[in-house]
Amino acid sequence: WDANVKECPDSVRFFQLDDERFLERWASSSSSKQKYDVVVFNFAINRDKALLFCRKVLKDDGVLLAPVNVQRDYWMKQFYALLDKEGNTLWTANDVGAWSVQFQPDVTQATCQGIWCPPYNGFQRMAR
């Protein structure tokens, strides 16, 4: 982030966290009353997680952009989804140009598959 972003408005925040740690930090801080205009995921998620984020952290007119799995826990293909606070779909894209949408899986999910998932990548899940 720091090496590649030359200019960024003060209102833009980047959190280098998995979603569970972000929600935990957000809920335990005074910023839990702060809601966001836009939330963007840079890893694949299941639709239920996208809906959770829409309802918890978006402003009333906010949007969430995420690569959402085409099927629950199927990490080999996603589509882009733009959702509003209620989880209504505002826009989707299955392919971007000639590229099929495929992102790194959500490492917090027990169904995460491949070398980018625990235990191969060193990620430690939060204790429950």
The β-bridge relationship of strands 36-40 and 58-69 is: parallel
Q: What is the residue-level pLDDT of the chain in tens, covering all 128 positions?
A: 667 777 888 888 888 889 999 999 999 987 667 899 999 999 999 999 999 999 999 999 999 999 999 999 998 889 999 999 999 999 999 887 777 878 888 988 889 887 778 777 777 777 66
The Cα–Cα gap between 94 and 111 comes to: 22
Query: Can you give the pTM of this predicted structure?
Result: 0.84
3-state helix, strand, coil in the chain (%, to 5): 20, 25, 55
